[in-house]
Amino acid sequence: MEAITWLPLMFLILCSVRGELLPNIGAHLMNCTESDREALIDFKNGLHDPANRLSSWKGSNCCHWRGISCENTTGVVIAVDLRNPHPTYNYNDESLDRYGFWNLSGEIKPSLTKLKSLRHLDFSFNTFNDNPIPDFFGSFKNLQYLNLSHAGFSGAIPLNLGNLSSLQYLDVSCDDIWEESSLFVDNLKWLTDLSDNQFLPKVLDFLVNVSSLITLGMSNNWLDGRIPLDFSELPNLQFLYLGASGLSESCHQMLGGRWEKIQDLDFGRNDLHRKLPSSIGNLTFLSHLDLSGNSVDGGIPSSLGKLCNLISLDVSDNYINETLPVALEGIEICLSRKPFPILQSFDLSYNYLVGNLPEWLGHIENLVELDLSLNYLNGQIPAFFGSLQNLSRGPLPSLQYLDLSDNYLVGNLPEWLCQLEPERRL
Ligand SMILES: *[C@@H]1O[C@H](CO)[C@@H](O)[C@H](O)[C@H]1NC(C)=O
Ligand SMILES: *[C@@H]1O[C@H](CO)[C@@H](O)[C@H](O)[C@H]1NC(C)=O
Ligand SMILES: *[C@@H]1O[C@H](CO)[C@@H](O)[C@H](O)[C@H]1NC(C)=O
Ligand SMILES: *[C@@H]1O[C@H](CO)[C@@H](O)[C@H](O)[C@H]1NC(C)=O
Ligand SMILES: *[C@@H]1O[C@H](CO)[C@@H](O)[C@H](O)[C@H]1NC(C)=O
Ligand SMILES: *[C@@H]1O[C@H](CO)[C@@H](O)[C@H](O)[C@H]1NC(C)=O
Ligand SMILES: *[C@@H]1O[C@H](CO)[C@@H](O)[C@H](O)[C@H]1NC(C)=O
Ligand SMILES: *[C@@H]1O[C@H](CO)[C@@H](O)[C@H](O)[C@H]1NC(C)=O
Ligand SMILES: *[C@@H]1O[C@H](CO)[C@@H](O)[C@H](O)[C@H]1NC(C)=O
């Protein structure tokens, strides 16, 4: 009996340490090529590894080494994963006590480029403080995944990365927390060294040629407003994170492009201005849109109703100063024929919205959080919030958080709202 109950637990433990402690399943029969092994040894000699994370990097078969994966038929190295599994956020962090310094630092030696078949390279959460991203990273012809987030690199991004014609995932984001603690990471201040204004607009253009890109993470890097608008033309781009990057563009410019497959767009905490274009309704795959903390004014276009896949929409802390649209366009194209059928979180707080609450707000079936606080909404809190259809659960059956505070709304909250379970906060 005891053995049986322990089994799943053991399995869990094994799964969670796999990759850090266990050799790669599937490649364990392969011996790595001698040239790849030598390249890795030389590369290791440049690294500073206080926690001895690379202690398994010895012996002849590098396919067994921690963080290394080999192609299963030829034994060539295809992945070098040196992601720090125990990042320390500051000196008080408890993981520091438990794991010590798991951060790697030192020099990234060019011997790495001898790994001709490399597809996956992850240096995230290490402390290569003040080193620039090496130029030679641009020579990995087969690289599909490059994660340099929170890795401490600084300086100008090498244009050579534009040569990575197979790249699908590029993550160089930083994090507010790290920035403030300023212990580990120096931001990628790609552009601050360049005083020649004429050159500035072109600095990231090279990425536009990497048509294989699926994910691009660059949040919290200072791009000084110089983002190529052509990002919207990248045919495979699905996830773009450019929060707090110093973007300064009109919404029309930034959101007007093709964005053929885009699902996540994070432009939060920038300076996007003027009104949202109605063409935003063309981004039909969009599921997460963050425009919070910008300077957007005008209204919410009714074409937004065509975004049937929207899960979260955050336009809080802007200058939206019109009424909410009375009706939404294109609801009939959503399968359920209801507004925003899978929207869970809708935040328009801290704007200058005026007018009444429109009826469609009461029909967003899967809404969990609705925040319209700190606006100039007026009129009655409409009866339809409570009187429509299904009084047993209320019209917004999933709602757990509703904030209408700091407006000029009058009237009583509908009865169903008052009967909400305690965890559904108002
Ligand atoms: C790997 O190397 C070991 C020791 O040199 C050898 O015994 C083994 O047969 C090799 N395996 C393969 C798959 O070549
Ligand atoms: C090698 O990997 C491929 C997929 O990456 C898989 O289809 C194939 O079955 C594997 N071969 C062996 C011998 O494990
Ligand atoms: C990069 O690595 C970090 C953690 O080390 C992870 O959170 C992030 O999702 C990774 N980025 C991509 C694009 O996979
Ligand atoms: C790599 O990119 C640089 C800068 O864009 C360029 O000068 C160089 O010719 C490229 N190299 C290859 C092999 O494409
Ligand atoms: C790891 O981070 C800590 C905290 O910033 C730093 O003191 C230490 O020097 C870093 N370790 C290495 C090897 O750079
Ligand atoms: C992008 O590719 C085109 C055509 O291959 C080339 O003419 C152009 O110089 C490239 N742009 C950059 C910024 O590398
Ligand atoms: C959607 O895009 C098409 C072209 O791709 C354009 O003609 C149309 O005006 C756009 N829709 C809106 C509402 O702007
Ligand atoms: C909204 O704000 C913009 C920019 O300040 C202004 O031009 C516009 O007239 C305002 N619209 C309304 C309806 O107040
Ligand atoms: C009321 O809610 C129940 C359960 O969520 C659902 O089965 C029923 O169809 C709803 N009735 C109406 C009129 O919407």
Residue 139 Cα to ligand 4 midpoint, Å, equals 9
Ligand nearest to the CA of 69: 2
Does the beta carbon of 84 lie inside 6 Å of ligand 5? no
Going by alpha carbons, the residue nearest to atom 5 of ligand 3 is 124
| Diameter over CA atoms, the chain | 78
Residue 98: which pLDDT band, with cuts at 50, 70 and 90? Answer: low
CB-count burial class (<10 Å; 0-12, 13-18, 19+) for 152: buried
Report residue 398 CA to chain centroid gap: 26
Average pLDDT over residues 189-214: 56
Q: Which atom of ligand 8 is nearest to the CA of 298?
A: 1
Residue 401: which pLDDT band, with cuts at 50, 70 and 90? Answer: confident
Q: Return d(Cα 19, Cα 191) in angstroms, integer.
A: 36
Please say if the pLDDT value at position 251 is more than 90. Answer: yes
Residue 100: which pLDDT band, with cuts at 50, 70 and 90? Answer: low
Q: Return d(Cα 353, Cα 344) in angstroms, integer.
A: 21
Residue 90 Cα to ligand 5 midpoint, Å, equals 10
Please say if the pLDDT value at position 321 is more than 60. Answer: yes
Model-level pTM? 0.80
Residue 175 Cα to ligand 3 midpoint, Å, equals 12
Please say if the pLDDT value at position 250 is more than 90. Answer: yes
Higher-pLDDT residue of 324 and 404 is: 324
Residue 92: which pLDDT band, with cuts at 50, 70 and 90? Answer: low
Average pLDDT, the chain: 79
Residue 91: which pLDDT band, with cuts at 50, 70 and 90? Answer: low
For 342-359, the pLDDT digits (tens) are 999 999 999 999 999 998
Please say if the pLDDT value at position 376 is more than 80. Answer: yes
Residue 387: which pLDDT band, with cuts at 50, 70 and 90? Answer: very low
Q: Which residues contact 366 (CB under 8 A, 6 or more apart)?
A: 341, 342, 343, 344, 398
Residue 205 Cα to ligand 4 midpoint, Å, equals 14
For 214-249, the pLDDT digits (tens) are 999 887 776 665 666 778 999 999 999 988 877 888
